[in-house]
């Protein structure tokens, strides 16, 4: 039987970027007990926590800043949809992304700007229109394969072919 610490570490390894409440539910721990172990694991340098005003996400300490940004975005449905769309297509204009993702312009714009500021996505202006693309397609594909194989399993055959050819 694994100790609580081992259970928490294993859950974070399997699901980098997992939220506090998700860990509580998966391991069946109370808020106070999980808080105690999180603090202990942080102090021992085993995990790191990214805290925003509304969400705490957990990562194993050996994950780079870039990797943790990417896996955090992959845990959100709209950024994940944007990234899959951009993996399937080399360069897309904003409206093409919107139509592929099926979300409101404002929603896509919000998350696209986050992906650009995280340096996961960039754009080039062609004929005064921004054409968006993934900065390091190979690296992103590798991270998706490692941390979110469900993306490939649930994706189109086209994406699976792209991932296997990179």
Residues 55, 25, single domain; the answer is yes
**What per-residue confidence (pLDDT) applies to 118?**
92
Q: Find, among 91, 76, 82, 71, the residue nearest to 139 by Cα.
A: 71
| Residue (of 143, 134, 145) closest to 112 by Cα position | 134
What is the number of domains present in the chain?
2
* Residue-range definition of the domain harbouring residue 130: 68-165
Does the pTM exceed 0.85? no
53 and 77 part of one domain: no
Domain boundary among 63, 82, 102: 63
The domain that holds 88 is classified in CATH as 1.10.10.10
- Same domain? For 133 and 92 the reply is yes
pLDDT at 161: 58
Residues 56 and 42 in one domain: yes
| Mean of pLDDT over the chain | 87
- The per-residue pLDDT for range 56-111, each reduced to its tens digit, is 889 999 888 888 888 888 888 899 999 989 988 889 999 999 999 999 999 999 99
Shared domain for 144 and 85, answered yes or no, is yes
User: Looking at residue 11, what is its pLDDT?
Assistant: 93
My answer on whether 26 and 99 are in the same domain is no
**154 and 84 in a common domain:** yes
Place 114 in a pLDDT band, splitting at 50, 70 and 90: very high
Q: Are residues 26 and 88 in the same domain?
A: no
Q: What is the pLDDT of residue 156?
A: 54
Residues 6+ apart with CB under 8 A from 87: 134, 137, 140, 141, 144, 159, 162, 163
CB 60 within 8 A of CB 16: yes
Same domain, 52 and 39: yes
| Domain edge (last residue) among 16, 43, 63 | 63
Of all residues in the chain, the percent with pLDDT exceeding 90 is: 56
User: What pLDDT score was predicted for residue 142?
Assistant: 81
Q: Which two tokens stand for residue 60?
A: 């194993």
What pLDDT is attached to residue 87? Answer: 87
Q: Do 38 and 83 sit in the same domain of this protein?
A: no
pLDDT, tens digit (0-9, with 9 covering 90-100), for 28-46: 999 999 999 999 999 999 9
| pLDDT of amino acid 146 | 78
Identify whether residues 102 and 148 lie together within a single domain. yes
Residue 1's pLDDT band (cuts 50, 70, 90): confident
């Amino acid at each position: 039987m694994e100790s609580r610490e081992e259970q928490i570490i294993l859950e974070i390894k399997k699901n980098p970027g997992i939220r506090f409440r998700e860990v509580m539910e998966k391991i069946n721990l109370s808020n106070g007990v999980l808080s105690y172990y999180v603090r202990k694991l942080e102090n021992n340098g085993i995990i790191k926590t990214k805290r925003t005003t509304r969400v705490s996400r957990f990562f194993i300490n050996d994950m780079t800043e870039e990797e943790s940004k990417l896996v955090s975005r992959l845990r959100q449905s709209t950024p994940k949809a944007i990234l899959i769309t951009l993996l399937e297509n080399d360069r897309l204009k904003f409206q093409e992304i919107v139509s592929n993702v099926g979300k409101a312009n404002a929603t896509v714009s919000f998350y696209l700007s986050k992906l650009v500021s995280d340096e996961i996505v960039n754009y080039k202006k062609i004929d005064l229109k921004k054409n968006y693309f993934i900065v390091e397609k190979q690296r992103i594909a590798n991270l998706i394969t490692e941390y979110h194989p469900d993306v490939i399993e649930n994706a189109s055959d086209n994406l699976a072919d792209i991932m296997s050819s990179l």
